[in-house]
Amino acid sequence: MMQPQFDGQTRDLKFTPPPSLRPRSLLRRLRLLPLWVGLGALVGCAVGPNYHRPPAVVTPAYKENQGWVPATPREIPANQPWWSIYDDPVLDGLERQVVVSNQTLKESLAAYYSAQQQIAIDRGTFFPDITLSGSATKTGGPAGVSTTSSGAAVAHSKSTETIYSVGPQATWTLDVWGRIRRTVESDVAKAQASAADVSAALLSAQISLAEDYFQMRAAEQQVRIYNTYIADLENALEIVENQVAAGTDTLADVYAAQTQLETTQVSAINEQLTRATYEHAIAVLTGKAPQQLSIPQ
């Protein structure tokens, strides 16, 4: 807003414009006008609709899955053991030997039979114990005369007398407060637990044998692969030796081929030892000494 100012010399009134209306200030504002217009345009461009994530293309299945279906567990018939799903007669024969000759089951079987016998002993206390006893007494003496206490004489002839005595006797311990009944119930539970221990020990041994069997077969296959590789390396070594003889290769190539061949041969020997180890473990599980069992490859 313009304000009047008084000049003491001329005694005239004059108006002085504010700084914002002076020519230099107006010129500066006009110069900044394009800048403000540009900023406003940028701000206006930043304002727009809300961001929406674009849809992603999701395939229902991979092309490599054509013809493949999820695996379903195979049911084992009730009259066949669980290892019958492998359809391996050698494995079947070995597993059946575990059932009849595995030495690790002796302790569990003994505990089971002991529990069964204990049940029979404790159940017998339900009934009375009846015993029958008998005796025979034979008396006799020579002929003679004896005197009674009153002084009378009595003549005896030579005779023999046998007295028989037979009498039954019964004893019965009453089941007070269910003591005997609770004992029998405890023995039955112990017998069931022993039967479960036997089944668990048998299943554990059968599983261990199956695992060792498949590991042994895997070692056999690994040995076959090594043997094929060794044959290829022997041919390669022969080729390198011929090239050295022809002057196209050096002895370093021969040494490298020999080293690779010998390393592979050592690996094949290790796999053979691995197979023998699993075969020995199977022998122990079937209750045999390792030298008594030989499984064909």
Rounded mean pLDDT of the chain? 76
- State pLDDT tens for residues 116-157: 676 666 666 666 666 767 666 666 555 555 555 555 555 555
Half-sphere exposure of 121 (CA within 13 A, CB side): 9
- State pLDDT tens for residues 195-242: 888 788 888 888 889 999 999 999 999 999 999 999 999 999 999 999
pTM of this prediction exceeds 0.75: no
- pLDDT over threshold 90, residue 263: yes
Separation between Cα atoms, residue 257 and residue 234, nearest integer Å: 8
Predicted local confidence at residue 204, as pLDDT: 84
Q: How confident is the model at residue 10 (pLDDT cuts 50, 70, 90)?
A: very low
**End-to-end CA gap in the chain:** 113
The token pair at 186 is 């405890």
DSSP the chain: --EEEE-TTT--EEEE--GGGSHHHHHHHHHHHHHHHHHHHHHHHH--PPP-PPPP---SS-GGGTT-----PPPPPTTS-GGGGG--HHHHHHHHHHHHH-GGGHHHHHHHHHHHHHHHHHHGGGS-EEEEEEEEEEEEE--EEEE-TTS-EEEE--EEEEEEEEEEEEE----GGGHHHHHHHHHHHHHHHHHHHHHHHHHHHHHHHHHHHHHHHHHHHHHHHHHHHHHHHHHHHHHHHHHHHHTSS-HHHHHHHHHHHHHHHHHHHHHHHHHHHHHHHHHHHTT--GGG-----
